[in-house]
Amino acid sequence: MALDLFSPVKLGSILLNNRMVMAPLTRNRSSETGVPQAMNVTYYEQRATAGLIITEATPISAMAHGYPALPGIYSGEQVVGWRKVTDAVHAKGSKIVLQLWHVGRISHPSLLPNGALPVAPSAIKPAGKAFTYEGLVDYVTPRALDASELPELIKDYAHATQCALDAGFDGVEIHAANGYLLDQFLRDGSNKRTDNYGGSFENRTRLLLEVTEAVVAVAGADKVGLRLSPANPFNDMHDSHPQSLFNYVVTALNPFNLAYLHIVEGGIHGGGEAAPFDFSELRALYQHSYMANLGFNKQTGNAAIAAGEADCIAFGVPFIANPDLVERYKTDAALNEADSTTFYGGNEKGYIDYPTL
């Protein structure tokens, strides 16, 4: 029988009822202390027919924040808040992993402890504006991390991973995409370092591999996914040789035997033209489970799975507007339209009030 979106699949040790994954979606509706609230529990519970839910990107420390009203995963209160989410999702028979996030330079002193400067591989100010509690303001020039600070940063990833497991998650996803800290180290447009973490592909990939090693040491490789966005220009990102760089990165990730590799196949959030990129080359190089993301629908998702181009498909906006997306795809029902004005921040409207069939 041909595989499709509704076939079960195992990603590492995580057994999914179907191959429809809810992509990580920043919604800016947590409490100011980063503790998930009652409406966050409802939101994830409503969407728990997805084979797998990947949470919104979740800061691993107070210094990892870059937007208002984000949940965190580094304090006891946050663990307790997230436990309500995982319990609700598991009660509905779905699986859920937490996405580990450090935004790096995509932040602002008003969002960080004691008005600290954001950190980055190099002191390069990104184009664009920071989204703060006071509205949109210009980004500042970040502070370049000293190599001596990186072991502590890696420990933050390990600590957040343990917090996620304590909160009942089935695993974690390392966010190394979309112009945030680990992606900033990977690409030469944002990394001008001259030490062991800059210059060659090997050096620019070093932090990502060290973080992956630390996270795997806590959770086990069979519970760890990783997200990359090789062509995405979002957050003022570019690289002089993206194909060669990311071919190198995925080859270096192969030995970990991770639960899955999650690839954003193109550019998202606007931010310019996506770099030309051959994703089939990446897929051929990667030896384990592959999750494709960006612009898929039922037809193209089924086609990609049937052709072996992906093991599962992550859907973003369709899951925002259709909590019961799996059922709608199964029955070819009409889809709700997403209200983009309520994507980031606000209350229950545009968050937990979309109708189900």
CB count within 10 Å of CB 42 equals 17
3 within domain boundaries = no
Helix (H/G/I), strand (E/B), else coil: 11: strand
34 within domain boundaries = yes
Amino acid residing at 100: L
Catalytic residue among 139, 180, 197, 329: 180
CATH code of the domain covering residue 85:
3.20.20.70
Residue 270: the pLDDT is: 64
Low pLDDT (below 50) residues in the chain: none
Half-sphere exposure of residue 69: CA atoms within 13 angstroms, side-chain side = 17
Q: Tell me: the pLDDT tens digits for 131-171?
A: 999 999 999 999 999 999 999 999 999 999 999 999 999 99
∠ at Cα 105 (100, 106), nearest 5°? Answer: 70
Q: With contact defined as beta carbons under 8 Å apart, do 235 and 103 qualify?
A: no
Rounded to two decimals, the pTM is: 0.98
Is there a catalytic annotation at residue 180?
A: yes
Residue 13: the pLDDT is: 98
Residue 1: the pLDDT is: 72
Range of the domain at 48: 9-342
105 within domain boundaries = yes
Number of domains in the chain: 1
Q: Tell me: the pLDDT tens digits for 230-270?
A: 999 999 999 999 999 999 999 999 999 999 999 999 887 76
349 within domain boundaries = no
25 within domain boundaries = yes
134 within domain boundaries = yes
Residue 271: the pLDDT is: 63
Q: Provide the token pair at 108.
A: 């602002």
